[in-house]
Amino acid sequence: MLYLVPTPLGNLKDVTLRSLEVLQQVDVILCEDTRTSSRFLNHYQIQKPLSPYHQHNEHKVVNHLVEQMKAGKQFALITDAGTPGISDPAFLLVRACVQEGVKVECLPGATAFVPALVNSGIPGNRFVFEGFLPLKKGRQTLFKQLATEERTMIFYESPVRLVKTLDEMSGYFGEERTCAVSRELTKLYEENFRGTLKQVADHFRAKAVKGEIVIVVAGKAD
């Protein structure tokens, strides 16, 4: 069996009792970075074998992992932060498990774009999650397609590219389009800044930006 277990975005208290229970009972915990995951697991005194599973090895290990599950081993898959499968490797393993009849169960828990959307003040009844934008190929084409999107749009971005991305969005969506940026969610220096694309870009242009970023942009008005 494979359990997909969300881990806290930053505040270690943001984990469910059920998640801790599952991590205590599985045979092996798959993780992106064993050092990062060890800190979280040690905090809750969870001592289980860790095995790396990330975008650089997923194609090599997926079949072996599925065979171990079919033989009776229970695995939990966690990420450095948040829910597995949201802008990080998980799909390949889940698909392989489904195809081979291995039971998969995803536990509810932390996902960065949900609090960012809810506290943005932008309508959340209809939205599209785009994750990380392409760095080069296809980036401009995607912006052109999204310029007429009427649903709220959600993106992940790195701090070093934040201002550039907001400036590009201003060019394609219009600098007066409503936007909100959430940074360092659940952590000590959490910041949620709201305004137009121009206002938000200017705000972050004037300061050093750190931490993981969620951008929420209003859809095109009818």
pLDDT at 222: 62
pTM of the model: 0.93
Q: Using one digit for the tens of pLDDT, what is the confidence trace for 101-135?
A: 999 999 999 999 999 999 999 999 999 999 999 98
Report d(CA 197, CA 166) in Å as an integer. Answer: 6
| Nearest one of 97, 9, 96, 84 to 54, comparing CA atoms | 84
Q: Which domain CATH number covers 60? A: 3.40.1010.10
83 plus 129 within the same structural domain: no
86 plus 122 within the same structural domain: no
Q: Which domain CATH number covers 212? A: 3.30.950.10
80 plus 137 within the same structural domain: no
101 plus 117 within the same structural domain: no
Where a domain ends, among 106, 133, 163? 106
Q: Which helix (H) or strand (E) holds 54?
A: none
Q: Which helix (H) or strand (E) holds 43?
A: helix 34-43
155 plus 183 within the same structural domain: yes
Kindly give the pairing relationship between strand 152-157 and strand 127-132. parallel
84 plus 151 within the same structural domain: no
Q: Using one digit for the tens of pLDDT, what is the confidence trace for 28-85?
A: 999 999 999 999 999 999 999 999 999 888 899 999 999 999 999 999 999 999 999 9
**Range(s) of the domain holding residue 17:** 2-106
pLDDT at 97: 97
Residue whose tokens read 């050093």 = 208
Where are the strands (E) in 25-122, listed by range? 28-31, 50-52, 75-77, 104-106
Where a domain ends, among 106, 126, 144? 106
